[in-house]
Amino acid sequence: MNTNRDQAVQTAIGSTVLDFIKGGIVLITFLGTTLAITMVVFKLMGKPHIGGGGTILATVAASLFLMGYLVFGADAGTVRGLSTHYILMICGSGGHTAEMIQMVERSIRPEKSSHRRWAVGKDDLKSYDKILAFERRLLNRFSCHSMDSGTFDIVRFGRARYVHQSWLTTPFTAILSLLDILYILTTPPYQNPSPRPRYPGVIVTNGPGTGFLFLLVARALKLIHLVPASHMRTLYVESWARVKSLSLTGKLIRRAKLADIFIVQSRFLTGPSETLSENLLVMPEQPYIPFDT
């Protein structure tokens, strides 16, 4: 006769195996789809000898995609009832990370079981160090007022294209970057107490080019119902340095309508689909948790 402990162990093992199978299906599906797209691109570029097996590969990719849809689609509804979620923040190098930290530092408020996930480039050590320093500062600040600052983790992604990288090799690094993004979006944080939210509730980006890819993948996952509509809400904040024209990332996100909320910080950039919030770096004027004096 099984005891409660035996049942718990069996449930844990079954859940782990199922997650492993699902992860494998997503990985194979994604690789198959991207390879099929790459073959089509090469064929359009006038290299038909590369795309000879494109039809077969596309058929296999479509079959794997359907399999992934059936597995994940049946499971997606179980996430709707979760009241907890975490926030994913996409950080670029230099000023992008500094702006993101400054906005969070002034606007953060205590929330039970809150979690922050920071996404930084694999080669961006400065942003990694800045985030760690900020989280230590935040912990001390909340502790002074006997409050819980929540948990956090830092995940890393490869860039789609590096500075001075050849355009010939860019498709391959872009595929690797998309795989990193897919893993980040679908892997729950281990620091968060049970029940752990599987997907981020909100995704925030403020201008780095990879932010466009994150929002694009998030939209695709929701479009094919692998992720519930109640998760992965997207927020784009244009940098305060952009006062007369949108950045390239901002233009792409606006044109593709990837952001649920599109915020600009200059009145010269406001349009029918943008929300104006001037100088978010110093808002609110009185932080919810006072700074250490």
pLDDT at residue 33 is higher than 50:
yes
Average pLDDT score over the chain: 76
pLDDT, greater one: 5 or 283 = 283
| Coil, strand or helix at 210 | helix
pLDDT at residue 68 is higher than 80:
no
Reference 260, options 283, 237, 228; nearest CA is 237
Q: What is the pLDDT of residues 182-239, one digit of tens each?
A: 999 999 887 655 566 789 999 999 988 889 999 999 999 999 888 888 899 999 999 8
Positive/negative CA dihedral, 216, 29, 232, 105? negative
- pLDDT score of 51: 47
Contact between 222 and 210 under an 8 Å Cβ cutoff? The reply is: no
* Cα(276)–Cα(254) distance, integer angstroms: 14
pLDDT at residue 142 is higher than 70:
yes
- pLDDT score of 216: 94
- pLDDT score of 41: 47
Contact between 212 and 220 under an 8 Å Cβ cutoff? The reply is: no
Cα 124 to chain centroid distance, Å, stands at: 17
pLDDT at residue 8 is higher than 50:
no
Reported as a pLDDT band with limits 50, 70 and 90, residue 5 is very low
Q: What is the DSSP letter of 116?
A: E
Contact between 262 and 236 under an 8 Å Cβ cutoff? The reply is: yes
pLDDT at residue 79 is higher than 60:
no
pLDDT at residue 40 is higher than 60:
no
Lookup result for tokens 């499971």:
75
* Cα(14)–Cα(185) distance, integer angstroms: 22
Contact between 163 and 129 under an 8 Å Cβ cutoff? The reply is: no
- pLDDT score of 1: 43
Amino acid at 201: G
Residue ranges with strand state E in the chain:
87-90, 115-121, 151-157, 202-205, 233-237, 261-264, 275-276
